[in-house]
């Protein structure tokens, strides 16, 4: 096959003929412009040039190859024709590097909040906006933290707590902690190795990672990074095209994934306004290419841009179909009421996650923790409790082992931690995740001793006072404990030349 010169590619730099280069391959994306989930604008910005750098954080490596008909794969770029681009170091790059250089040493990171402070300072604005944003007025994301603080411990004394054991199984898989790494999309916005930071740290420390459908790394890259026997779960966004979903799920099962967490709280993505605004600010250059065009989709932020494949017609009727295509455990992620918890039990799935999607979906939804109390009460009326065949997980706002233990005391099988680990690798890569795991371990050990629980079965409802949980004193409770007692890590000022 003959190679294509960069000059030839540059002649196809318009809406009428639009070629781009991704990883050394030339693609004709003219007919795809209006179908691109992220809109045409961003592609046109790179029309006739190399789009790899913009493509990488948002797409798994094989996405363009799989989505574009083969006749649109034009060929390989002739490397000798590509001007050796010495990447221009921008002021933003310099600032970011200076901030990275000024990070505190990892052993000064004492808790999960510290990672958040560092991540906020080192992440590019767009990445921070995407990760940290929640929907509308961001009331639910704050409530997720506040709910934990409305629960009080009732510790027991004088039990020999010389040795404490917090090992457990999650959906039949061994876990060194009663928590799992929950799915968060687009890991490469935070770190060049993206989700692999999580996989490697999880493998090393016996923690279970839930792989996101919208990871920046491909599914196979992630599974390949796991050590033999490392348990992995998969989070699933259901595609409008069920064949795609079926192939994806069955491929995951063949590759050894143990459980399928179907996201059920996102038929449409919430409005994360920080994320949406960021897009307006960022793409000025693209806007020029668009001049005079009508019908251009307004930018909706990173997440909304890539979510149009998600099927809003998903319903209870689909559950038997999922059961028919896989033997993995099936968990519904995003349950928020006893009514739906009972329906899930009756539908024969293996569990539910009480989640509000990290406050990113329906704002002013209650916290998973608050829902846990009502849902456990409802499930107790429908059979044995705890039910070995039906797990109840909680996520949202977990930053401390005390949060984990409160959820376990109230009946959760384990908890999910998303942003906590995301910020850990965004600030320190794999080592950050390992440190976060170690912090959870240290805190759990101490908290179990202080609670008088020698193993997780001794973490019982009587150890917490949840009587204030349902009382929402204000519509938007302030996380005042956090505000007043957390001393932000002091970040050195970057030295810019
Ligand atoms: O919360 C999210 O951002 C999320 O789940 C998502 C969904 C679709 C595309 C990207 C992210």
Return d(Cα 41, Cα 285) in angstroms, integer. 10
The pairing of strands 73-76 and 152-153 is: unpaired
Return d(Cα 197, Cα 212) in angstroms, integer. 14
Pocket lining: 303 vs ligand 1, CB cutoff 6 Å:
yes
- For 420-457, how does the pLDDT look when each residue is reduced to its tens digit (9 = 90+)? 999 999 999 999 999 999 999 999 999 999 999 999 99
What is the pLDDT, as a whole number, of residue 175?
A: 98
pLDDT of 289 higher than 50: no
Return d(Cα 363, Cα 357) in angstroms, integer. 10
- For 213-228, how does the pLDDT look when each residue is reduced to its tens digit (9 = 90+)? 999 999 999 999 999 9
Whole-structure pTM value? 0.90
Pocket lining: 307 vs ligand 1, CB cutoff 6 Å:
yes
Average pLDDT over residues 4-24: 91
Return d(Cα 395, Cα 291) in angstroms, integer. 44
Q: Which of 140-154, 390-404, 461-475 has the lowest mean pLDDT?
A: 461-475
Using a pLDDT cut of 70, give the percent of the chain over it. 93
**How is residue 297 written in tokens?**
């989709």
Question: CB under 8 Å to 241, separation ≥6 — which residues?
Answer: 309
425: enclosing H helix or E strand: helix 419-451
Kindly report the protein residue whose alpha carbon is nearest to atom 11 of ligand 1: 303
pLDDT of 28 higher than 70: yes
Nearest one of 416, 438, 435 to 212, comparing CA atoms: 416
pLDDT of 374 higher than 50: yes
Question: CB under 8 Å to 427, separation ≥6 — which residues?
Answer: 103, 115, 118, 119, 122
Where do the H-state alpha helices sit in 214-311? 219-224, 242-254, 273-282, 284-289, 301-305
Q: Which of 76-80, 139-143, 347-351 has the lowest mean pLDDT?
A: 76-80
Q: Which of 50-54, 296-300, 350-354, 370-374 has the lowest mean pLDDT?
A: 296-300
Return d(Cα 210, Cα 339) in angstroms, integer. 26
Q: What is the ipTM of this complex?
A: 0.96
Active site residues: 237, 265, 357
Nearest one of 416, 421, 426, 278 to 357, comparing CA atoms: 416
Return d(Cα 310, Cα 300) in angstroms, integer. 16
Rounded (10°) CA dihedral 489, 119, 415, 466: 40
Q: Are 322 and 242 in contact (CB under 8 A)?
A: no
Return d(Cα 394, Cα 372) in angstroms, integer. 7
What spacing in Å lies between the alpha carbon of 42 and ligand 1's midpoint? 18
Pocket lining: 269 vs ligand 1, CB cutoff 6 Å:
yes
Pocket lining: 306 vs ligand 1, CB cutoff 6 Å:
yes
pLDDT of 36 higher than 90: no
Packing angle, helices 112-122 and 419-451, rounded to 10: 160
The single-letter DSSP state of residue 72 is G
Out of 307, 309, 314, 422, mutate this one to test ligand 1's pocket (max ligand atoms within 8 Å of CB): namely: 307
- Asked if the bond preceding 386 is cis, omega within 30° of 0, the reply is yes
What is the pLDDT, as a whole number, of residue 37?
A: 64
Rounded to 5 degrees, φ, ψ at 355 are -150, 150
Query: Is 102 buried (19+), middle (13-18) or exposed (0-12) by CB count in 10 A?
Result: middle
Return d(Cα 273, Cα 279) in angstroms, integer. 10
Q: What is the mean pLDDT of the chain?
A: 91
Sign of the CA dihedral running 32, 244, 320, 261: negative
The single-letter DSSP state of residue 399 is -
Out of 129, 266, 304, mutate this one to test ligand 1's pocket (max ligand atoms within 8 Å of CB): namely: 266
What is the pLDDT, as a whole number, of residue 188?
A: 96
What is the pLDDT, as a whole number, of residue 87?
A: 74
What is the pLDDT, as a whole number, of residue 474?
A: 59
């Amino acid at each position: 096959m003959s190679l294509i010169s960069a000059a030839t590619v540059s002649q196809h730099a318009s809406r009428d003929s639009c070629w781009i280069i991704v990883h050394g391959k030339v693609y004709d994306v003219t007919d795809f412009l209006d179908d691109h989930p992220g809109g045409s604008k961003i592609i046109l910005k790179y029309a006739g040039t190399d789009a790899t750098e913009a493509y990488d954080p948002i797409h798994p490596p094989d996405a363009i190859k799989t989505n574009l008909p083969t006749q649109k794969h034009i060929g390989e770029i002739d490397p000798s024709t590509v001007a050796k681009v010495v990447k221009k170091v921008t002021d933003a790059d310099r600032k970011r590097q200076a901030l990275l250089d000024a990070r505190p040493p990892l052993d000064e990171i004492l808790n999960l909040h510290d990672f958040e402070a560092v991540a906020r300072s080192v992440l590019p604005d767009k990445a921070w906006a995407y990760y940290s944003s929640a929907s509308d007025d961001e009331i639910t994301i704050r409530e997720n933290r506040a709910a934990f603080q409305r629960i009080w411990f009732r510790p027991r004394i004088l039990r020999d707590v010389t040795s404490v054991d917090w090992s457990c199984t999650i959906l039949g898989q061994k876990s060194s902690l009663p928590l799992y790494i929950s799915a968060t999309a687009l890991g490469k916005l935070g770190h060049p190795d993206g989700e692999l930071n999580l996989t490697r740290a999880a493998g090393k420390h016996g923690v279970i990672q839930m792989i996101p459908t919208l990871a920046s790394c491909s599914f196979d890259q992630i599974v390949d990074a796991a050590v033999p026997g490392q348990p992995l779960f998969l989070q699933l966004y259901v595609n409008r095209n069920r064949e795609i979903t079926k192939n994806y799920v069955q491929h995951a099962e063949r590759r050894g994934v143990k459980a399928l967490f179907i996201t059920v709280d996102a038929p449409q993505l919430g409005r994360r306004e920080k994320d949406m605004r960021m897009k307006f600010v960022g793409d000025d250059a693209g806007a020029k290419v668009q001049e005079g065009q009508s019908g251009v989709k307004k930018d909706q932020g990173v997440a909304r841009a890539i979510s149009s494949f998600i099927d809003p017609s998903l319903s209870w009727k689909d559950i038997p179909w999922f059961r028919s295509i896989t033997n993995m455990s099936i968990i519904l992620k995003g349950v928020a009421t006893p009514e739906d918890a009972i329906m899930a039990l009756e539908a024969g799935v293996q569990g539910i996650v009480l989640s509000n999607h990290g406050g990113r979906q329906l704002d002013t939804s209650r916290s998973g923790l608050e829902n846990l109390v009502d849902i456990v009460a409802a499930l107790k009326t429908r059979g044995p409790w705890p039910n070995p065949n039906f797990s109840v997980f909680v996520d949202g706002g977990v930053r401390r082992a005390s949060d984990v233990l409160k959820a376990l005391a109230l009946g959760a099988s384990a908890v999910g931690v998303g942003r906590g680990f995301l910020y850990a690798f965004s600030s320190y890569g794999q080592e950050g995740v390992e440190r976060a795991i170690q912090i959870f371990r240290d805190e759990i050990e101490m908290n179990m001793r202080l609670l008088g629980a020698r193993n997780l079965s001794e973490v019982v409802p009587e150890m917490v006072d949840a009587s204030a949980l349902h009382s929402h004193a204000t519509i938007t409770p302030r996380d005042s404990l956090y505000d007043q007692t957390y001393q932000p890590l002091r970040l050195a000022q970057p030295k810019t030349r």
